[in-house]
Amino acid sequence: MATQPLTPTAPRPIDPDNMNAFLGRAVQDMGAAIQAPLILIGDKLGLYRAMADGEPVTPAQLAARTSTAERYIREWLNANAAGQLVQYDAANGTYFMTPEQALALGVDDTPIHLPGAYRIIESLMKDLDKLIEIYRTGQGMGWHEHEKCLFEGTERFFRPTYLANLVANWIPALGDVEAKLQAGARVADIGCGHGSSTLLMAKSFPNSHFYGFDYHPPSIEQARAKAEAAGLSDRVTFEVASAKEFPGQNYDLVAFFDCLHDMGDPVGAAHHVFQSLAPNGTWMIVEPFAHDNPESNHNPIGRIYYSASATICVPCSLAQEVGLGLGAQAGPANIETVVRSGGFTNFRKATETPFNLVFAAQP
All structural domains of the chain, each given as residue ranges with its CATH number in brackets, are 28-107 (1.10.10.10), 118-362 (3.40.50.150)
**Among residues 119, 120, 263, 279, which one has the least CA distance to residue 186?**
279
- Element of type H or E holding 163: helix 149-165
**Among residues 244, 169, 176, which one has the least CA distance to residue 200?**
169
Per-residue pLDDT 10s for the chain (363 aa) are 455 666 667 889 999 999 999 999 999 999 999 999 999 999 999 999 999 999 999 999 999 999 999 999 999 999 999 999 999 999 999 999 999 999 999 998 888 899 999 999 999 999 999 999 999 999 999 999 999 999 999 999 999 999 999 999 999 999 999 999 999 999 999 999 999 999 999 999 999 999 999 999 999 999 999 999 999 999 999 999 999 999 999 999 999 999 999 999 999 999 999 999 999 999 999 999 999 999 999 999 999 999 999 999 999 999 999 999 999 999 999 999 999 999 999 999 999 999 999 999 999
| CA dist., res. 95 & res. 139, Å (int) | 48
Q: Are 56 and 96 in contact (CB under 8 A)?
A: yes
Q: Are 62 and 47 in contact (CB under 8 A)?
A: yes
**Among residues 201, 192, 191, which one has the least CA distance to residue 252?**
201
In terms of Cβ atoms closer than 10 Å to its own Cβ (0-12, 13-18, 19+), residue 214 is: buried
pLDDT at 69: 98
For residue 283, give the 3-state DSSP assignment: strand
Task: State the sign of the Cα–Cα–Cα–Cα dihedral 344, 346, 349, 351.
Answer: negative
Q: Are 175 and 235 in contact (CB under 8 A)?
A: no
| Largest CA-CA distance found in the chain, in angstroms, rounded | 72
| CA dist., res. 6 & res. 86, Å (int) | 46
> Vertex 346, ends 342 and 348: CA angle to 5°?
105
Q: Are 209 and 187 in contact (CB under 8 A)?
A: yes
pLDDT at 4: 63
| CA dist., res. 167 & res. 183, Å (int) | 15
